[in-house]
A and B are shown apart, each in its own frame.
Chain A
Amino acid sequence: MLSRTVRGFVASLLVLVLLFSTAYPAGSITSQARASIMATANVEPSLGLTEAAVDLPADFTLDSDKPLYWLYHPHLDGVKILIEGDARSIETVHLQTFDLVSLISLSPAEPDQSVTVTVIYTDN
Chain B
Amino acid sequence: MKVLPLLSSVSKWYLPIVAVASVLLVSSASAQTITVNNNLVFGDIFPGIPKAISKATAGYAAEFHVDGAAGNELTVEFTLPRYMNRSGYNMQMIFGEADCAMDSSATPDQSNPGYDDIDPWHVITYGLGLNGLTIWLGGTVVPGLNQMNGDYSASIVLTVTYTGN
B-contact bits for A9-41, CB 8 A (1 contact / 0 none): 101110110011011100001111111111111
Smallest Cβ distance from A120 to chain B, in angstroms? 17
A34 nearest CB across to chain B (Å): 5
Question: Contacts A12-B15, A39-B62 given: A44-B155 contact, CB under 8 Å?
Answer: no
Neighbour of B93 across the interface among A12, A37, A39, CB < 8 A = A39
Is A46 engaged at the interface, CB distance under 8 Å to the other chain? yes
A30 to B38, CA, bound (A): 27
What interface size band does chain B fall in? 35 or more
> What total count of A-B pairs have CB within 8 Å?
182
Contact between chains at B46 and A24 (CB < 8 Å)? no
Q: Is the CB–CB distance between A39 and B157 below 8 Å?
A: no
Select A32's contact among B14, B25, B161, beta carbons within 8 Å: B161
A39 interface neighbour in B29, B44, B153, Cβ under 8 Å? B153
> A19 to B19, Cβ gap below 8 A?
yes
Q: Are A37 and B40 in contact, CB atoms less than 8 angstroms apart?
A: yes
A12–B156 touching, CB < 8 Å: no
State which of A32, A36, A40, A43 has its C-beta within 8 Å of the C-beta of B41: A40
- Point out the residues of chain B lying under 8 angstroms from A9, CB to CB: 7, 10-11, 14
Pairs across A and B, CB under 8 Å, 8 listed? A29-B161, A35-B36, A36-B158, A37-B155, A39-B42, A41-B91, A41-B143, A41-B152
Q: List 7 tightest A-B contacts by C-beta distance, closest first.
A: A19-B22, A41-B42, A35-B34, A8-B11, A39-B40, A45-B149, A23-B25
